[in-house]
Amino acid sequence: MQPWFRRVLGGLLLLAGAGLVVATEQGLLDNRHASDRHGGKIVDVGDGSSPEQEHHGNLVRVAGPLRVVEDPFDPEFRQRAHAPVMIRHVEMFQWREIRVGSDVHYELDWVDRPVDSRRFAQPAGHTNPERFPLEGKQFDAGQVRLGNYAMSPPLLHALPGGALIAPDLKALPANLAASFSLNGDYLTTSAHPEQPRLGDLRVSWEAVPPQVVTVFAQVNGDELTPAAGTTEGRGFDVQIGDRRLADVLPDVPPPPSFVWLRRIAALLLALLGALLLLPERPRTHHDLLLAVGSGVLLLSAVACVMWLGTDMSVGGAWFLGALAGMGVAVWRLRATAA
């Protein structure tokens, strides 16, 4: 092999090794910076069956079926549902003002909030009750778990979906049973439900079913909570179905695969390049150690510069690697010179 060709090939192999380290560390840095915007390190824990202590403080992606440990309960109506969340809706039959251009007319309809008839253009004959005797409320399950993790209230309230459930008329307290009758999925105070009158009430319950969900949140003890310190979004996400991390957080690039294998391959390229750049002579173990030290020094110095300012612990580890490589290289150079 011609000396010039050996030098060119050796230089190219050194550059290839350095380039592979740069690409690997840059991929890790891109993932780290994007993760930091959401609150910190992100771990994909799958179905959440791993011990909670392993991931305390981390942001995690967990997917699986919700398990309701203690059903939500409405103490006023004594209604319950096997669901993470149950919502009581209260509506009153009231006058509504309908405006179409300059035309104003009025109709009676079910509305879930008091309608202030004093603001009507024609309040006479369209007076609504001033307040509801009952209020709508939300009732959370005593505990809902996803894998080994408990769901915190903000995550429960973010669960999508919901459907009306049939109320249990037999569970009603005596005073309410005397006032309400069952009409499909509603309890109503109307004597004739098909012909409600002004001021009649209609009460229903909506339940969010236990289902397979994907949650992105922070682990605090054994609980999934919104992330602290996030600069983007709410610090958590809840989606229906088993969704990949890339679907939940499309702005977070995945980290490189086989990181240590790529680093070892980069070191081998740099080692071979350094050997080719050494003067032509019969190779000994001294040359091999010199090439190893030179390769470690080059790659560690490049990676150290990239990580400083982002993670001092990783940057410090690479700095120690550079010192070790320099020490081996200097030691071998002195031994060769002697």
Residue type, 332: R
Q: What is the pLDDT of residue 72?
A: 95
Distance CA 172, CA 79 (A): 8
Among 86-90, 112-116, 249-253, the range scoring the smallest mean pLDDT is 249-253
40 pLDDT above the threshold of 80: no
281 pLDDT above the threshold of 70: no
Helix crossing, 312-337 with 285-307: angle to 10°? 150
Each residue's pLDDT tens digit, 24-34: 999 999 988 88
Which residues does 220 contact at the CB level (< 8 Å), separation at least 6? Answer: 56, 57
Which residues does 324 contact at the CB level (< 8 Å), separation at least 6? Answer: 293, 296, 300
Domain ranges of the chain: 3-34+255-337, 65-212
Name the phi and psi angles at 177, rounded to 5. -65, -30
Distance CA 245, CA 253 (A): 10
- Bridge partners for 110 per DSSP: 93
**Average pLDDT in the 37-46 region?**
80
123 pLDDT above the threshold of 70: yes
